[in-house]
Amino acid sequence: MDCYALNVSGPVTWACPYTDFPLLEIRPDRPDEPVKVRTNTVRGARAVAVHGGRAAFYGGYGEERDRLPFGELAETSVEPTDTGLLTLPDGALPDRRRVVARGSRIYVQAEPFTAWGVFDLGG
């Protein structure tokens, strides 16, 4: 499996592996259920942020590479709620970019790679 989106926040790791892109919640501190698998309709996201029972994904295939879909965490699934578009501060879509997620935040660094923009699901 390839891991398309990964987020580590404290003792919790969140991952979306290829090909079905479930949202995995990995908690080694819970021996009775160290991995919770939630089905997910978002395909090809490059980042995932999680906060307070909600998730935001960034990216996708083709024309969906700048999308920002949101969902509520249910027991066995991520239930879609809304979709936005992640843009740069000037309103433009990023061309080449680096993406990293930690906790409730998705960090995006667009070319020329001199500054990071931050989307915060918790803020």
Q: Which two tokens stand for residue 67?
A: 């999308």
Model confidence at 31, pLDDT cuts 50, 70, 90, reads confident
| pLDDT higher than 90, residue 83 | yes
| pLDDT higher than 80, residue 1 | no
Question: pTM for the complete prediction?
Answer: 0.93
Question: What is the CA 83 to chain-centroid distance, rounded?
Answer: 13
> What is the pLDDT averaged over residues 84-112?
92
Question: What is the CA 10 to chain-centroid distance, rounded?
Answer: 16
Mean pLDDT of the chain: 94
Backbone angles phi, psi at 71, to 5 degrees: -155, 160
Q: Which two tokens stand for residue 10?
A: 């404290």
Nearest alpha carbon to residue 80 among 34, 10, 21: 21
Model confidence at 20, pLDDT cuts 50, 70, 90, reads very high
- The answer to whether 17 touches 2, Cβ cutoff 8 Å, is yes
| pLDDT higher than 80, residue 6 | yes
Residue 56 carries which DSSP code?
E
Amino acid at 37: V
> What is the pLDDT averaged over residues 63-68?
94
Burial of residue 4 (number of CB atoms within 10 Å: 0-12, 13-18, 19+): buried
Q: Which two tokens stand for residue 15?
A: 């991952």
The pLDDT score that the predictor gives to residue 27 is 94
